[in-house]
Structure 1
Amino acid sequence: MEDVTGLLDPVWGAVRQEVVGLGLSGARVLRVLDAEGHPVAFVKLVDERARHLVDDLAAEAARLAWLGRLGVPVPEVLGTGVDEGESWLATRALPGRPASDSWPAGERNAVVDLLAGAARELHATPVDEAPFDRSASTVLVEARARAASGLVDRSWAIAGKRGPAARTVLGKLEGAVAALGDGRLVVSHGDFCLPNVLVAGSDAAFVDVGRAGLADPHSDLADMVRSLRSPMNPQFGPASADRFLDAYGRDGIDPERLRLHDLLESFFWPVPEALTPEN
């Protein structure tokens, strides 16, 4: 699809678009602007032939609607559909900057504290309905399937990870889930990393929530600690990760569960679309 501005209601004043990027998953993301150059929406598009990407897009739309009903700060869904062989999801643009931006040194601690507060508030969200089970035992079923398909080994090879094959590591993961159990289940982002949190003053909002659901809060904490320590975010680092855990509250954190969710997440590293079994 060349022009996505026509997908939006004229009330949004969309006049032009620009490419945000092409993710490893194969989804295209476009930013839609009004006549003054202000972002009004984002449109994510995936090829209809890539069924798993279409399913991921539908999952994100459903979770945005669910989180919105719970009062969680996420983008409003403006529309979904299929056009010219591509499935699309349009969401309202939210104010703020990704937490992964290059913040001045004097502002970084405040950003980390805001992330911890946003995580605490998300995990304290009252739940009336729970349509999305992301407990460790449920996600483990998906991890087994990915390991059996070869996706995990491919993703590890692309990332330069050395060590035993995924099927060998899977035994360790299964043992950890059996020993620790699912734990306390809360509303979880599912991919709580720096680029997926928008910071606007003292407020935070969440994007890319396609894996949101009820999960052990340690899954989100492990994601953010890994993101803060990542070489991709050199403005932060190990000290910021420690500050994040301190600000969240160490009393409620189990290091063993952090390690479990780090290991579980490694089974879901992305694989470029061209290398997936469907192609």
Structure 2
Amino acid sequence: MAGDWRSVEAFDEAISVSDLSEVSHHLIRASDGEKIEAHLVFFTSSAFRLKVVDLGDRALTGHIDLADALRSAGCVAGVNGGFFHRDGRPLGLVIASGQRINRFETSRLLSGLIYGDARGIYLIRRGRFEDRPGIDALLQSGPYLVEAGRAVRGLSDAATASRTFVATDWRGRWLLGAMHARITLAELGELLATSGLLAPWRVDRALNLDGGSSTGFFFAGAADRSSVILRPRKAVRTLLGIVPR
């Protein structure tokens, strides 16, 4: 599956040593020439903290811009967050700015958690999570895509959709990614588990976030670069971003 894909351009070596990098990375499938573009932000947990932005009832209006909301929260980058009900209520536990919203859930979909505190950022299986004071940002989502460097077995290879995800080498390097390319969860897991396709380093674990029409991406840019924005096609409830330590 992943062996059918190759990177159009090599990753810059600076990404592996930089605290913050953004790239628009392209892949091509050898069998049919299909091309996809992935928007990626690489960052380190030593330089950035996790930030969950809850849009609350404002999400139902559909008038909240992802980039504006992340900027207002002080985020230098971010993506859309976890899943939510039609009435805007989030699926699973959410902690935004220390405030707990909804509850911990055990449905098959919500198999992992991405969360942060003053010490660092963590991505773990639902069954390994130990709740404690001090967690100020958390999203329960799923499914788990990569574990111990390998694509998780049993991921769906049927439905294709746009995708949003978070990944780490579990050594302090992290990745937020989004793509408006129609791929399956099984394909995404394989791509992330294959070094050089979606990251220049070995992905140890990765978690799927709400994709499809919710897929969104933001990078604030720098003095010599403009912002990069991929807007969701529908309103979303939560956003997952990063702020400087």
Q: TM-score range by the shorter chain?
A: under 0.3
Rg larger in structure: 1
TM-score in terms of structure 1 length: 0.22
Structure number with higher helix proportion? 1
Structure number with higher strand proportion? 2
Greater relative contact order (Cα 8 A, min sep 6): structure 1 or 2?
Answer: 2
